């Protein structure tokens, strides 16, 4: 049947939200240069506002990082409803092929419930990117304390939970959820998940879906497992999953449920690295969801604060008078959203002096031996040679250029497997001082990341600084370098 949920409200005011509040929120995001990709504001089941920063759109498939954990928790709930598993099952019973004979008692005791609460017996995640079997590391790494006692964020817990779902169902966990939960809510058919090295879905971080997909699953949780008049997952399980099961106040949080974070104002949230967020407030029938890439800039604090101060604090229980002028301004703003390029001046007196000139670099952590810029109007090309060969990256000056990042040694659809392709990226540059060109590169593939580069010119010399915010790639682009203008 066609859903009446997630239809546009006639205006934000019709569901108690001032258009000015949403406009102020967007303007604050851009003013603070937060790399937002999209947001959705849902009130009383209707879309009060939705926007995407070009080139992202409503149909963009986006990496959800640890929001994936909340999806796995829902798959566990479906299995509990079907009687396939019990929350008090010890997880070792599902992994006889991966557990040592002398397994530590703490690991032998750990239950599905313990792992849902992030109360494993480990201090940290048991695997690294270099391990070939992540589930096996969970049972073979020495634990530090009894399970079910203390919160410690551990993505290997979700790897184990997702693998249990896949071992019991015989299919990837999203496929298992498809008929039972995903199809009834209109979840994208082409959503998928990056795989662990051993070939299971990386439910701890790897789901690729749309912003609306994430928001729809969060809405099911906010409505106690229901979508319209369909009870898709038991109310009992959802109540537990979205309630405080364990304290995590040492890390300045408000409690944790089943792979779901507790929030102030009786809310709960799906949270993923880089500010993939679904903030749910059942008491206000309000859901705010967004996709972004704020890696290296905290855990979404800028977006959280902007939402709470500009929108959450302005919401009313009843409809508000329609504000035609502000609503028109808001719609115009949303239609013209785009990712902000590197800020600065488009030209410098040094531009022509350095254009096309090679610089030789001293030994440096990036392994770059030489480089030059080719600048033509408002576009440029950075050419360089490092340990993997000769490369070039195109960029806009004062604008964004779409392209690919020139490294082919990064992971693809499975961790540990290198397909030999380049990641999609958005690149821009500008002169931040008369002698200094800064470049900003956003990786926009199934892996997200940010690379910042600064090139400072002093007579015939060059200084370079590079820093990255990305998980498990761009490692070659961190550090300082110095060099000099070549004679040839």
Other CB atoms within 10 Å distance of the CB of residue 486: 12
Q: Which pLDDT does position 345 carry in this prediction?
A: 97
Residue 392 phi, psi dihedral angles, 5° rounding: -150, 145
Q: Which pLDDT does position 487 carry in this prediction?
A: 79
> Would you say the pTM of this structure is higher than 0.85?
yes
- Residue pair 268/280 in contact (Cβ under 8 Å)? The answer is yes
Match 């693998």 to its residue by tokens: 163
Residue 182 phi, psi dihedral angles, 5° rounding: -75, -45
CA distances for 471 relative to 192, 330, 410, 411, 447, angstroms: 19, 35, 11, 11, 8
Q: Which pLDDT does position 3 carry in this prediction?
A: 45
Residues in Cβ contact with 146 at an 8 Å cutoff, skipping those fewer than 6 apart: 106, 109, 121
Which domains does the chain carry?
7-335 (3.40.710.10), 351-485 (2.40.128.20)
pLDDT exceeding 70 applies to what percent of the chain?
98
Q: Which pLDDT does position 300 carry in this prediction?
A: 45
Q: Which pLDDT does position 460 carry in this prediction?
A: 95
Q: How many CA atoms lie within 13 A of 337 on its CB side?
A: 30
Match 């590169």 to its residue by tokens: 441
For residues 417 and 198, give the distance between their C-alpha atoms in angstroms, rounded to a whole number.
Answer: 11
Which two tokens mark 473?
């790639």
| Residue spans of the chain under pLDDT 70 | 1-3, 251, 298-301, 488
Residue 355's DSSP bridge partners are: 373
CA distances for 8 relative to 4, 282, 318, angstroms: 10, 19, 17
Q: Which pLDDT does position 301 carry in this prediction?
A: 60
Residues in Cβ contact with 21 at an 8 Å cutoff, skipping those fewer than 6 apart: 12, 310, 311, 314, 315
């Amino acid at each position: 049947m066609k859903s009446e949920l997630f239809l546009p409200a006639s205006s934000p005011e019709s569901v108690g939200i001032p258009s000015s509040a949403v406009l102020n929120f967007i303007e604050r995001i851009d003013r603070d240069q937060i790399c937002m990709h999209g947001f959705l504001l849902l009130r009383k089941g209707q879309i009060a506002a939705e926007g995407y920063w070009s080139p992202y759109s409503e149909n963009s498939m986006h990496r959800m990082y640890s929001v994936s954990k909340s999806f796995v928790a829902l798959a566990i709930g479906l299995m509990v409803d079907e009687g396939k598993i019990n929350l008090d099952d010890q997880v070792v019973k599902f992994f006889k092929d991966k557990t040592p004979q002398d397994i530590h008692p703490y690991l032998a005791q750990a239950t599905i419930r313990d792992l849902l609460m992030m109360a494993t017996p480990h201090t940290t995640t048991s695997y690294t990117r270099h391990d070939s079997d992540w589930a096996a590391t969970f049972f073979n790494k020495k634990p530090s304390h009894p399970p079910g006692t203390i919160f410690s964020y551990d993505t290997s817990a979700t790897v184990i939970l997702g693998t249990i779902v896949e071992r019991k169902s015989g299919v990837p966990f999203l496929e298992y959820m498809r008929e039972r939960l995903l199809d009834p809510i209109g979840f994208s058919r082409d959503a998928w998940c990056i795989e662990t090295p051993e070939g299971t879905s990386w439910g701890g971080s790897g789901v690729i879906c749309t912003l609306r997909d994430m928001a729809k699953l969060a809405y099911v949780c906010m409505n106690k497992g229901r979508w319209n008049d369909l009870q898709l997952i038991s109310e009992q399980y959802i109540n537990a999953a979205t309630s405080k099961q364990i304290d995590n106040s040492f890390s300045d949080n408000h409690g944790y449920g089943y792979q779901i974070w507790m929030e102030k104002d009786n809310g709960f949230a799906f949270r993923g690295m880089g500010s993939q967020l679904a903030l749910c407030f059942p008491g206000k029938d309000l859901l705010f969801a967004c996709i972004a890439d704020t890696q290296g800039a905290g855990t979404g604090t800028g977006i959280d604060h902007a939402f709470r101060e500009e929108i959450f604090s302005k919401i009313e229980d009843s409809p508000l008078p329609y504000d035609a002028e502000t609503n028109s301004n808001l719609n115009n703003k949303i239609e013209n959203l785009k990712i902000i390029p590197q800020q600065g001046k488009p030209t410098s007196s040094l531009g022509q002096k350095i254009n096309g000139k090679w610089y030789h670099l001293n030994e440096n952590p990036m392994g770059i031996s030489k480089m030059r810029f080719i600048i033509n109007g408002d576009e440029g090309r950075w050419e360089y040679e490092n340990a993997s060969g000769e490369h070039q990256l195109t960029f806009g000056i004062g604008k964004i250029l779409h392209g690919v990042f020139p490294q082919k040694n990064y992971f693809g659809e499975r961790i540990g497997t290198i397909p030999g392709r380049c990641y999609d990226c958005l690149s821009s540059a500008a002169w931040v001082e008369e002698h200094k060109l800064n470049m900003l590169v956003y990786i926009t593939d199934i892996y997200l990341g940010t690379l910042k580069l600064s090139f400072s010119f002093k007579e015939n010399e060059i200084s370079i600084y590079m820093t990255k915010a990305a998980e498990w790639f761009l490692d070659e682009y961190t550090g300082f370098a110095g060099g000099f203008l070549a004679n040839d």
